[in-house]
Structure 1
Amino acid sequence: MNFVHLAAASPYTTPPLWRILTKSGYFIGLCGVIGFTVTYAAAVLPALRAPENERGDVAALRRRAALSLAWAGVVLLVAGYFQLAARLARAGKGMPFGDALAPGRTWDFLCAPAARGAWVAQGAIYLVQNIVLVLTSAALIMLFSPRARRHLNALALTALPLSLTVTLIAAIPATAPASADKVFDLVFDQVHIISGTVWIGGLVLLAALAGARRQLSGNAGLLWADIWRRFSLVALVCVGAVLTSGLWISWKHVGGIEQLWTTTYGLFLLVKTLLVLGMVAAGGVNQFWLMPRIARARRADATASLLRLTLRHFPRIVWAEIVLGAGVLGVVPFLTGSARQAGSPAPGATGSVFAVGAALVLTLAASLCVTAKTSDALSRRQIAATT
């Protein structure tokens, strides 16, 4: 290890326990509301609307989806309050986290006037964000009521844009960005957050829904094959967005490849990267191994095999992805500061940087398209083998 380089790097400060818990909890809340609502709208709802599904299967999944969404609203509401207190504790000269939990102090923070040079008060931004957060949570918590569950689709689709707004509002700067790079930082941060929460949250929702297999009929495999197929496309888009935005963020915060193991920040980033790659690998198993077999069982009308693949084998790999995703959320609070040397600012984006970035993005997009087409080709081959 290059001890000289490590000594020259900006000192790393381990965040306090309350900061670790509040930040992880906040992202867990976002995974719940964003991941659950997007996955329900993009994968679950279209599959449930298929006319060939049995009413009992549809009712069971709707009921479990409603309860999952309702609990996601509770988690976001609690996590949002603690996150707001954490922001107050870190604002200005700071204060003990316990003092920041007092509602009166929180309200004073939200109503504080704008700083000199700011176009809007930072507290006002957080006030609007938390109003939207409360509305999002309320829309989902209503689903605890059996009467409100009759309007599950409307409430879920209402909460979806609200949940996205929760994180987008927090990214609004109180002062004008000093350069175009700062704008790109904000954009890529939000792309990273939204795609990551959709990916992890979607996995959690589908794992929760798969827990209802004892309440489903023997023909539910067809329904679940459609759900997994639709979510695979959602996950593929999320993988591309996570990797693309992650490359930008890493480039801004890491000055050289060696800083991944010679700085504390770099080590945490390396751990996070390995966890994400593990999730990608698990998703690859689903895409290249399970999806073709599901397609073959679906074509052969092998009800028992289809049910086993969709509600036993697939969820097992999904749970492995969830464990890795939980590890990612656990590492996120430790990614504070930067791995760059003290006095070494983050590089600016030039024409050549954009050209290289565009080439990488195009290469990644092409590889994801190849992945989708290869999975589809394997599915057709499995189907041809049964005819």
Structure 2
Amino acid sequence: MPRVPLPPFWAQILLGLVLGVLLGWAARTWEVDWLGRALEETGDTFVQLLRLAVGPLVFLAIAVSITKLRNVSGAARLAGRTLLWFLGTSLIAVAIGLAIGLLTDPGAGSGLTPADGSAPETEGSWLDFLTGIVPTDVVTPFTELNVLQIVFLAAVTGVAALRLGERAAPLIAFGEGALALLQKALWWVIRLAPLGSLGLIGRAINEYGWDLIGDYATFTADVYLGCGLVLFGVYPLLLRLAAGVDPLRFFRAAWPALQLAFVSRSSVGTLPVTQKVTERLGVPREYGSFAVPFGATTKMDGCAAVYPALAAIFVAEVFGVGLDLRDYLLIAFVSVIGSAATAGLTGATVMTTLTLSTLGLPLEGVGLLLAIDPVLDMVRTATNVAGQAVVPVVVAARERILDREAYANARGLDAGDLREAA
């Protein structure tokens, strides 16, 4: 039987978002409990399916990508320049966050007081960050989903395989097969993204409505403005000036990944789509298979740059603590160096507590931010994923390994692409 033509992937997600908003509004307005529970279960199930693959996906993607670097000429130079571009763009993003916070005073007129906050259940410190990189065993990082430790294990495994040479060939082949199998299963989950987006956005509207945003109006607007400036200002300039390519072509191809990141709030969960996007944009697969997984666990311009800068200013104003130039420099340092603490998962609590503790601000301020966090995390994650795709394009272009013809003809994912990938 002939297949019924389906709209492009981005249109399916957009339709899910619109329906989710309408159903969430209906559930909240008329207090339809069963509809609210259905939206919650739908969204939670989709996120849980994504999280189920996070541990093995990160390990295999990093380890296999390191072994593939042996086929790339100048691999060490490529890796170093990728890291430098990650750090440089993060510094720009945190500067934008600081500038917006200083201009708008997001916590001054919020009406919130220190009594409204509470200490978080988990927090981060520099000691935890540095000592927590090395796991105590090889099982706990996967059971507790400590992505930073999983990255450490994967990096050690990949480098060791490179050093072994031909003796590691069977293990490398097994890893490549296991990664392909896992990505195939994850593509099945990604095909459910329109349904997942319906549940996630519907749940957010049902639970929070528009009442909560009142106290956080300036802060919410600042986060969306800051991420928007990075997403649609900084990145297009980098693509035009540093890579010499058309930014509109980038967004045309990357739009499905940005939408999926927006609704799933997971950089790692979006990883297969982000990799597909970079390949479609002409980034060599051998290099992209390293840069994208590396970025999905360390490149967080939304969660670890724009947001911590604004959060620190917001908490300082609510608690009546003055910040000086030294504090702002510390915010920039923490944001650039500590971004791996967010590790590509939903939320940025660890990064926020790391920033607040470094500045000596009350950790109870995190309790103020958790109330509005799901609404903010969507745009933060979309910004993260955009940066994870932009930097490989820029580096590939500057190293003259970008397929510019493929970039010029790049398009977004459609239903046929999803069927092929799944």
TM-score (structure 1 length as normaliser)? 0.29
Higher RCO structure (Cα 8 Å, ≥6 apart): 2
TM-score (structure 2 length as normaliser)? 0.27
